[in-house]
Amino acid sequence: MPTFTDAAEAEKYLSAVFEAGFADPVISPALQKSGVILRMDLSDPETVVTADLVAQQVHVGGDGPEPNMTLELSGEVANRFWQGKVSVPLAVARGTIKISGALPKLIAMLPAAKPIQASYVERLKADGRDDLLA
């Protein structure tokens, strides 16, 4: 499965996902109320994206506030997740996503991801990145 070409590309697309959620008038309040500061430690390519859902800010490359939830996953799994192609509970059980923090809180936020996933796919298409479509 194709993945991001480098860390900068992964950071660009993953940051855009969270920014879309922050801009959405329905999703944004739910993200803020979650109290989550989510750090995504990606491999292949290696990078870090931290989404402060409370302050509604995205930090890349290890900058940002201390997270209260961390996900370790590959760029491929992150790309497929944001297209709605990954079951988080199954991925955690299989070890393709490793989580530190409250899994129930992450599961509770998943319904809010659905509209964002659609915008992620549209962004890939608009950028001519059909190679990243799962």
How far is Cα 34 from Cα 53, in angstroms, rounded to an integer? 7
| Tens digit of each residue's pLDDT (9 = 90 or more) over 40-98 | 999 999 999 999 999 999 999 878 899 999 999 999 999 999 999 999 889 999 999 99
AA letter at 125? K
Q: What is the CATH number of domain 7-116?
A: 3.30.1050.10
pTM: 0.91
How far is Cα 102 from Cα 99, in angstroms, rounded to an integer? 8
Main-chain dihedrals φ then ψ at residue 8, nearest 5 degrees: -60, -40
pLDDT exceeds cutoff 90 at 110: no
Q: For residues 115, 120, 121 and 126, what is the CA-based torsion angle, rounded to 10 degrees?
A: 130
Contact assessment for residue 51 and residue 38, using Cβ atoms and an 8 Å cutoff = yes
Which range, of 28-32, 52-56, 100-104, averages the lowest pLDDT? Answer: 100-104
Structural domain boundaries in the chain? 7-116
